Chain A
Amino acid sequence: MTNPTEIRKKLRRILPRVEKPGRYVGGELNQVVKDWNSVETHFSMVFPDIYDIGVPNLGVMILYEILNNRRDVLCERAYLPWLDMEAELRQSDIPLYSLESFHPLCDFDIIGFSIPYETIYTNVLNVLDLARIPMKSVDRTNTDPLIIAGGHSTFNPEPMSDFIDAFVIGEGEEVINDVVNVYQEWKRSGAERSSLLLKLSQIQGIYVPSMYEVTYHEDGTIDSVHPKHSTIPATVLKRMIPVLPPPPTHFIVPSIGVVHNRIAVEIMRGCTRGCRFCHAGMINRPVRERTVDEIVNSIEEALLNTGYEEISLLSLSSSDYTHISELVSAISERFAGKHLTISLPSLRIESFSVDIIEKLRGSRQGGFTLAPEAATDTMRNRINKPIQTAQLLATVREIYSRGWTTVKLYFMIGQPDETIEDVEAIIKVCKAVIGEGHKLIGKKANLHVGVGTFVPKPHTPFQWASVDDLESIYAKQKLLRDSFKGPGLRFTWTNPKETMLEAALSRGDRRIGEVIYTAWKNGAKFDAWQDQYKYNTWIEAFALCGIDPLFYISRPRGKDEVFPWDHISPGVSRKFLENEFEKSQQGVLTEDCRENCHACGILPIYNDVRRANPGELWLCPEVK
C-alpha cells in the first residue's frame, strides 16, 4: 500500500519538474488538517479540474467547512493534476492523493465530486483512474470508497450514472450530513454495499441510479424510468435549504495565484426573471436572500480570516436583490479606502447599475459587462429577456461617459426559430454601442462582444427544442466575424464543436455513459479547455458505441416524450415549463415573478416550508 510518507517522499523528486508545483502541495492558509486516526469518517471533496480553477469554487468551500465542522469527520481536497503532473504521477506510480494529508484517495470513505458543467465528465473518470478506484459503480466493493456527486449538471444525472454511486440533487448543505450519517450507520453494521445504496436512495434529494430501471421504445426514446424497490421514490425531488445558512468565511487562501483570488459571498440564491434559456434560473427556485447585515458581517469576518484584497458578491441577478442600494452603501462605508476590489456581477441593463458600481469601486479598472443575450424584440420576447435597445444605448452612454473605456456585451445565437435578421441585429446593436463610445471618448472606446451558442438545457422551457445545426452556427458566426471589424471592436465566440458535445452530454440518457467511457479511454480529458478538446475522439466514441449524437442534439422533442431527467425534480413542474415553451413560440412575455406568481410549481411542493418561513427572505408569495 502507498502511504502518505511514501507519497511525500516521491513527490519531492517530481515536483521540481512540473509547471506550478504549488498546485500539488496543499499547506495553504485555512486548510483543515485533522488527525487521520481520530475521526470516524474520511471524506474527500474533489473538483475535477486543475487546482487553479477548483480552489475558488464556492460550492466546494461551503461543504468543506460544513464537513470539517463535524468532529467525527475530516474533509480533505483533491483536484485533477495538469497533464505534466499526471504523467509524472503515473510514471512514479503515485496514486492521486489529498492535499491536506497526502492520503491516497482510495483510503477515503466517501469521495464527493463537484460537477458544475458537463464538459468536466471525462475528468471525473480520470480522477477515479488516477486514484485507482474502480471506474464503474457496479465494480465497486465494500472496500472501495462511496462515490457521490452534486452540482448543477447533476440535475440530469443519467449520463454519469455508470460512474457515480449516488447523486446529490439540489443544495448540498443539509443532505451532505444525511449522507455521512447513513454511511456511518452502514459501516458500523458491516452490511453489504447494496444495503448502503438502498438506504441512500431513501434520503430525500439523493438519487441512486442503480436503483432505477429504464425501459426504451423501439425508436430509442424512453418508455419509462421506475424504481426497483417500493421504498424508493419514483421522482427524486431536489433538496432545498429554506433559509440560506451563514456564508463560509474561512476560505482557503492559496499560496499561488489562481483564477479568482477572492472572498465570494452569495447575496441571494435563485432568480425571479424567468429567462427561458436559463438552467440556473429554473433549478434554484425559490429565490432566497441573505440580509444586508449577514452579508456585511461575513465579509468583515472573511477579511480577517483571509486577508484577501478582492470581494465578489455573487447572485444570478444582483440588481434584483431587494436591498441592493442599502447593501452597496453599507459595503462602501465599511470597506472604502482599504485598497479592496469589490465586484458585483450580473447587473441589469440600466443606468442604476452604473451608479452601483461607481459607488463600490473608486477606480474604473476592467470593463463593464452586460448580457442583453438577444438583439431583436422578437427574440427577446421568445427568451423572456425584454430589454429595449434604447435602454441598452442609454446605459452604455453612462458607462463610457463615467470613465470606463471597455464595455463587454454577451449575446447568444442558435435559439429556437432564430432568423438571420436576428443575428444581423446583434451586429447593428453592437455598432451602435461602439458608436456611442466613439462619440463620447473617441478612440479610447472598446467593445468586446462575446457570442455563445444556445444549448437547450434540461428542466428549462426550451428542453423540447433542438440545437441549431452545425452549418447554420458556422454561417452565423462567419457573418458576425466578418462584421465585427473596426477600431475598438473585439469578438469572441464558442467553438460549435464544443457546443455539440455540451448538448449531447447535457441532454443525454444513461446510454451516453459508454460513450464518455470510450472517449476517456481514447484520450479525452479537459474537454472544457479549448486547446485540449478532442472532437474527433468524441465522434469516434459515439460511432464505436453505435450511438448517433444527433439523436440527442438535433431532434425536437414531442410534447409527450419522456425525458431522461423527468424522474429528477427541481420543484418546477413540467406543466409550467411546457406552458412557458408555448408562450415562447407565441412571443409572449412572462413578467418577473415578484410582480405576479406564475405557479411554477415551487409553492405547492414547499407549501409547509414557506408557511414555516414567512417574510421577505423568500421572494415567493406568503402562504396562509
Chain B
Amino acid sequence: MQRIRIAYNKGVELQYTGNLDMHKVWERTFRRAKLPLAYSQGFHPQPKLQQAAPLPLGFTSKAEILDVWLDTEESIEDISKKIVNTAQPGIVVRSVQAMPVLSEALPNLVNAAVYTIICDEALPRDEIDSRIEDFLSKTNIERERRGKKYDLRPLVRSLSLESEHPMILRMTLSCLPSATGRPEEVLEELEIDPFTVDIERTELALS
C-alpha cells in the first residue's frame, strides 16, 4: 500500500459537485486509471480517500488537496501519469507526490484558506476601502451560524482589495476544524450580496 497526495484545481464543470460526490468522482477516476484503491476493513469496505478541507458548493478552486491510499507498487511517476490522463473534465492535476503512509492526517494539517472573490458590480474605491478598513478595525464581529453565536473577526486573517475593475477581493480565513471562516459571511458584513460574486479558493495553507 502507498499513500499519495494530489494537488488539483476544481473548475466550473464541478462547481456544483459536493464533497461526497467528489469522493465518487475520484473513486471513478482511479477505476478508469486501473489504479486499485486501498479499502477499509469491515462489513462495508470503503476506499481510503481524504480531502483536505471541504469546498463549499458553488466555489471553484485552485488549491484542492487529496490524500489517497493505493494498493499498488507502481512508481509515483506512473501513477501520476495515469491520474493526469484519466482525470474528469473540471479537474486539473497540479502535482502528485508520494507520502509516508503513516504521516499526519491531511485535514489536521490545514490551517487557513485564501479566497479570491470577483464581484459583478464594483463599488467606488473609497467606499470599498472604508468598508474593509471598518471591518478590520473591529475587534469582534458577533454573528450566528445555525443557531450558534460566534465571533467572525478572529477567523479573518487578512482582507484586501486586489483590483478595482472588476472589483476583486482577497481574504485569508482560518480553516481549522473548530474555527472555519466563510467568505459569504465576510461579504455580508461588507454589505456585498454573495449571490452576485464568483468565489474561488486560491490557496490552502498547511502547517
Contact = CB atoms under 8 A, between A and B. Distances in A.
Interface of B: 12-18, 20-21, 24-25, 27-32, 34, 36-37, 39, 43, 45, 47, 57-58, 86, 88-90, 194-196, 198
Contacts of A303: 31-32
A291 interface: no
B60 to A, nearest CB: 12
B14 A255 contact: yes
A11 B36 CA distance: 38
Interface stretch (A21-29, A105-113, A611-619): A21-29
Contacts of B194: 16
A309 B16 contact: no
Contacts of B29: 307
A285 to B, nearest CB: 37
A29 B34 CA distance: 17
Interface string A426-441: 0000000000000000
A307 B32 contact: yes
B28 A307 contact: yes
Given A22-B17, A29-B88, A339-B45, A255 B25 contact: yes
B27 A307 contact: yes
A13 interface: yes
A478 interface: no
Contact of B195 (A17, A25, A253, A257): A17
B57 A309 contact: no
B32 A304 contact: yes
Contacts of B13: 25, 27-28, 255
B21 A257 contact: yes
A6 to B, nearest CB: 15
A29 B58 contact: no
A20 B12 CA distance: 15
29 contacts: A13-B195, A13-B196, A15-B58, A16-B195, A22-B16, A22-B17, A22-B21, A25-B13, A25-B16, A27-B89, A28-B89, A29-B28, A255-B14, A257-B20, A257-B21, A261-B24, A303-B31, A303-B32, A304-B32, A304-B34, A307-B28, A307-B29, A307-B32, A308-B28, A308-B31, A309-B28, A338-B31, A339-B39, A339-B45
Given A13-B195, A21-B57, 12 more contacts: A12-B198, A13-B196, A21-B58, A25-B16, A27-B89, A29-B88, A256-B16, A261-B24, A304-B34, A307-B27, A338-B36, A339-B39
A256 B57 contact: no
Contacts of B58: 15-16, 21
Given A15-B58, A339-B39, A339-B45, A306 B28 contact: yes
Most buried by A among B15, B43, B194, B196: B15
Most buried by B among A16, A17, A309: A16
Given A13-B196, A16-B195, A255 B27 contact: no
A305 interface: yes
A476 to B, nearest CB: 40
Nearest to A20: B16
A590 B196 CA distance: 67
B31 A307 contact: yes
Contacts, number: 75
B88 A25 contact: no
B30 A256 contact: no
Contact-residue size bin, chain A (C-beta under 8 Å from the other chain): 20 to 34
A316 to B, nearest CB: 29
Nearest to B26: A307
A25 B32 CA distance: 23
A534 to B, nearest CB: 30
Contacts of A307: 27-32, 86
Interface in A210-269: 253, 255-257, 261
Contacts of B27: 307, 309
Nearest to B17: A255
B195 A256 contact: no
A309 B39 CA distance: 14
Nearest to B88: A29
Contacts of A15: 16, 58
Interface in A512-546: none
Contacts of A16: 58, 194-195
B49 to A, nearest CB: 13
A28 B39 CA distance: 26
Nearest to A33: B89
A311 to B, nearest CB: 12
Closest 6 A/B residue pairs (Cβ): A307-B28, A27-B13, A307-B31, A22-B16, A307-B32, A255-B17
Contact of B90 (A12, A255, A261, A338): A255
Interface string A1-45: 000000000001101110011100101110000000000000000
Contacts of A27: 12-14, 89-90
Contacts of A29: 28, 88-89
A338 B36 CA distance: 8
A307 B27 CA distance: 8
A259 B38 CA distance: 26
Contact of A256 (B12, B18, B39, B47): B18
A606 B129 CA distance: 80
Nearest to A9: B120
Contacts of B12: 25, 27
Nearest to B32: A307
Given A27-B90, A29-B89, A339-B39, A21 B16 contact: yes
Given A22-B17, A27-B89, A257 B24 contact: yes
